[in-house]
Each structure stands twice: as structure tokens, then as C-alpha cells.
Structure 1
């Protein structure tokens, strides 16, 4: 007998003996029963002994098969265990980050190359969704949430407190009345957030008596959509300054009136307490804090 035995044949025999059926072993390995039968026949020819007795009720081990099977079963179990350990190690070095599309595209993703350069062994997966993450059911390491920072059972770390600025396309402003006071914004269509709340709050913060006109206009549930509507001249959008930065820099949008107003909410990195003890999660949190700058005033 040669020193090397066919691994596929050994696996076919082990699964058939474990399951007691050629058909069941074939389903487990994703092949046909005929292929399993052929592999076992080749193994028996190599070993010079009969390993299985076939009958209408299935298969049973011969004396030689009964002596061979336990060792092979342990061996394949060790292989599977080693592969599982390797997969677990890979998963431990993969970070899944959840955040809304607007923050992902305008703030997070443009900076990720820096993190990857510093930590080449950590793979980052970004889920851009408006759906709130369920940390108990979903495999998410960190969620970047926009809110007040109160998340029961979770750790929240303050990152950014953006301000709201009114922006519009240069063409829209050039064709309309001048804007020198917050009240003048009401001469233009107002592009609203999904709650139709930000414009009213911004106007009130600047001393304007607000009526129903402050809540009129098309509404959008994502700031990316607000920005696109503003770029195409549909009205003035009140958006976070960090979200509008690219459009302001390339001139597709301009600030309609330089009266920024701190938003009610801030961005927080949210995670399970036990996850923060993992080195790769903590590395990403530290990197986020560095990118966001000094946020001590939020604490």
C-alpha cells in the first residue's frame, strides 16, 4: 500500500459510515451516490479489504471498516476544528460599521484609506443604511449614530457636533431676491428634512417668528437627497456643514446665508461594552476620535 491515500475517498467512507447511507453521504458532500460508491470502491481496492456491506437497509461496517472509522472521524474533526479556528481569527479581524448613507459617503468613506494604511490586517465593512441596528441580532461592531447619545445597554462615544447651514445652487440665488437675513430664506422654496422640523428651529434660533410657511416644501428622509435637490436648484436646503463640504468646495452649492446653527444632535460611535474590549474595535474607535478632532465639549 502506498503512503498516500486519496483524501476524497477517505472522506466519502467516513461520511457514509457516520450517516449509514450512500445517499445521505452524497447529499452531505454535494455529489451523487454513484460518486460516493466509486470513491469507497477505490479505497477498498487500495487497502485490499472490504470496508462496507451494502444492503437494502443501507450500509454497515465490516470489522475492518469498524476499526478504521473512529480514527478517520477524529482526523476529519481536527481538520474542521482547525479551519473553524482560522475562520474565527479572520472574523475577529473584520469590522462591520453601520451608519446612514449620507455620513458614510461624505465623512467616513473618504477617510477609510487612512485607517486601512495604518491597520492593513483589519478589514472594514461599511453598511450604509437608515435602519437602526439591533446589536443583539446583527453582526455589527460599531454603529455611527446621530442622536442625543442615550442608548440603553450600549456604550456611546461622542465624535462630532455638526452645525446646520442653508445652502443653495448659485444659479438659484442669482435669479432670486437677495438674502441678507434669515427671514429672506422664506422667499425661496425650502427643502425639508423628513420631520419638517429643522427649518422652523433654525429660523426660531435666529429670531424669526415662524408660521406654517417654514414647514412647506418637499421633504426628504436622507441628506444626500436634500443635497441633490439643492444642487439642481429646487430650493434652499438646511444641511449639516460636513455633508455639504464637497459641494461647497466644487462650487455646485454656496452658503445662502452665513448663519450656522449648532444641531440638536451629535454623532456618536455606539457599541456593546464587551466589543470595546477587543483590540481591533478599540483601534477603530481611537481612529474615529482622532479624525473627528477634539470633542471634549460634548462630554
Structure 2
């Protein structure tokens, strides 16, 4: 391959970057696993090609010239661009891994049962779920995507709506009994109302049926999975997120004592993405599939 007349040799640039960063020919040689004289040769070759001095040599130290300092800044940036491009290409050609931060309840009651469909469509993509209640920190958590529940208004991220939740009380058959305990919505005030950390669900539903939540006894639990387990154990009435409790209702493990269902933009599932980073091809594929699944009229597990 013919040498370029405008591009300096890569070895010379690497030597220059190391010397400029470390301000030492000896330490640069140790880092690059070459001799100090080889480092000096590369720097002289680069200076001859550029026609300027890059370093001021002193008795026991060296310093960058103004031209050298400017060239070093641009060289470091060029190496960074090459490194980023290389990493991106390697991600595309290797087996792709997509890490998804997901609410434990959404993962267990909605997502996991559908993942087999995605794996059939994309056998080259490995999906890793990270169950957590925290909002993903894409700068430090090493995740590609997140799925969260709420209003979608979170700072520092991009959010795309997936689907609204539907709310209605659910109760175990043991607590429901013959149904006389739940003749009207106001009867809920005689029972413990179960909800996760944010009781907005009960607030919305009770407001719809004109029952004052301030008169209710609400037990707030950490995670919605715990809410469901408490309801299954007959410890109270849960505000049912209908996308999460479908299997329990179908199997008769939970009952829906009242027909009223509340829908609101305040109770939706959102796909959360980095604000300033492009998604990998694998993450794009997963995000597209997830939106298709959420938009499907059949929201029961397949």
C-alpha cells in the first residue's frame, strides 16, 4: 500500500500522542512497548513532515510548542473518533446484546411471556433484563433501554409512549366471599386498599366513582409484584393494573368486584431511551418490536 503524502504514519502519530500526553519520551516508549530512540525517531519523522517543531527539548524535560499543543488536541480527538467508530462496527458485527432496565412487575407479568416471539424473530440478539424500580441512568448503568410506568416526564432522557394502563379493583375469592361485601364502591372503605409506592391508581379510580380516598385505609408497598401477592393472600383489595392481572383474572385467582375501568395518560408505560446517544441496531430492533407488541389488540400473553 502506497504511503499517503498528506497523512503522517500512524506509528508516528501514536508516538506523538503518547509523548504529548505524558511529556516524556521514556514513559511514552514504555507505554508503546518500543525503545526511547524509536519514539524520538517517530517524533522527528513527524516534525520533518509537518515542517514545525512539536516539542521544546530542555535539559531534563520537554514541553509542547504552541503548534504541538494545537496538533495534540486534534490528534486526540481523531483517535477518539476512530475508537468510537471501531466500537460501533464491532457491536454491529458481533452477536448483539441488548440490556433492558424494566420494572419487576412489568417484566414478570407482561414482558417475559412475550420474549420468545422476539427471540424467534431476532436470534442474533441476546436480551438481558435488569429488574429495578430506579429510573435508568444511561451514563452509568450500562443499559440500552428502560421501561417505566407513570407520566413519561423524566429529565435527561427520551420517552416514547407504549400503552396506557387500565385500572379496576381486584380481590381474592376468599376476601370477596359471596359478593355482599362489595355491593357498591363505597364498601371499599371497609377494607385495606393495596397500592405500590405511588397511590395515584386508587386516587384516579375512587375519584371516578365519587369515593373520597382520604377516608380510605391505604397500604403502600414497594413494588407492584408485592401488591399482587398481598391481594392473592387476601390481605386487602389491590388496584388492578389490567395488563398485569389478566392471567390471575382468567384463572380465577383474582376477581373484579366492580365493572368500572379507568384509563388515564397519568398511568401509562413508556419506553425510555438515552437523550444524547444513538441506539444500537439491536436496541432499535427491540424497541420496534416492543412498540408493536404494546399496540397489539391482543394484550394477553401469547
TM range (shorter): 0.5 to 0.7
- Indicate the residue corresponding to 1:172 in structure 2: 175
**Preserved CA contact (<8 Å) 2:95 2:124:** no
- Indicate the residue corresponding to 1:251 in structure 2: 252
Q: Does residue 224 of structure 1 match 2:215?
A: no
> CA–CA distance in 2 between the matches of 1:151 and 1:91?
33
Per-residue displacement from partner, 1:169-228 (whole Å, max 9, x unpaired)?
1121116634232212222222233234432332122122x15332x2432121111111
How many residues matched? 216
SS at match of 1:243: helix
TM-score if structure 2 supplies the norm length? 0.64
Q: Does residue 114 of structure 1 match 2:117?
A: yes
- Structure 2: tracts of 5 or more residues without a match: 1-29, 35-86, 298-302
SS at match of 2:116: helix
**Preserved CA contact (<8 Å) 1:141 1:275:** no
Per-residue displacement from partner, 1:261-293 (whole Å, max 9, x unpaired)?
114221111112565553222111110111011
Q: Does residue 278 of structure 1 match 2:280?
A: yes
TM-score if structure 1 supplies the norm length? 0.64
> CA–CA distance in 2 between the matches of 1:277 and 1:218?
39
1:260/1:97 Cα in 2 relative to 1: closer, same or farther (>3 Å)? Answer: same
- Structure 1: tracts of 5 or more residues without a match: 1-14, 20-83
**Preserved CA contact (<8 Å) 1:275 1:281:** no
1:147/1:197 Cα in 2 relative to 1: closer, same or farther (>3 Å)? Answer: closer
**Preserved CA contact (<8 Å) 1:230 1:237:** yes
- Indicate the residue corresponding to 2:194 in structure 1: 191
- Indicate the residue corresponding to 1:102 in structure 2: 105
SS at match of 1:218: strand
Q: Does residue 265 of structure 1 match 2:267?
A: yes
What is the root-mean-square deviation of aligned Cα atoms in Å? 2.9
